Amino acid sequence: MTTRVQVEQKVLTENQRLAIELRERYRQNNVFCLNLISSPGSGKTSLLERTLAAFPKDTRVAVLTGDIQTENDARRLSKYGFPARQITTGGTCHLDASMINKHLADIDLAALDLLLIENVGNLVCPSSYDLGEHAKVVLLSVTEGEDKPLKYPSIFSKSELCVINKIDLLPYVPFSLEQARENAQRAHPGIGILEVSCTTGEGLDQWLGWLHRRRDQAIAAASARS
Partner 1 sequence: MHELSIASAILEKVASEADLRPCARITKVGVRVGEISGVDPDALSFGFECLVKDSPFDPLDLDIQLCPRTQRCPSCVHEFPAPDSHTACPRCGRPDTLCISGEELDIAYIEVEEQTPAGTGNED
Q: Which helix (H) or strand (E) holds 20?
A: helix 13-28
Considering only 27, 94, 134, 214, the residue that binds partner 1 (CB under 8 A) is 94
Nearer to partner 1, 12 or 107 (CB): 12
In the complex, least distance from residue 98 CB atom to partner 1, rounded to whole angstroms? 11
Interface stretch with partner 1, choices 17-25, 27-35, 62-70, 88-96 (CB under 8 A):
88-96
- Sequence letter at residue 118: E
Question: What does the alpha-carbon distance between residue 121 and residue 56 come to, in Å, rounded to a whole number?
Answer: 28
Question: What does the alpha-carbon distance between residue 168 and residue 65 come to, in Å, rounded to a whole number?
Answer: 25
3-state secondary structure of 57: coil
89 binds partner 1 (CB under 8 A): no
128 binds partner 1 (CB under 8 A): yes
Question: What does the alpha-carbon distance between residue 94 and residue 89 come to, in Å, rounded to a whole number?
Answer: 8
In the complex, least distance from residue 88 CB atom to partner 1, rounded to whole angstroms? 17
154 binds partner 1 (CB under 8 A): yes
Q: Which helix (H) or strand (E) holds 128?
A: none
92 binds partner 1 (CB under 8 A): yes
150 binds partner 1 (CB under 8 A): yes
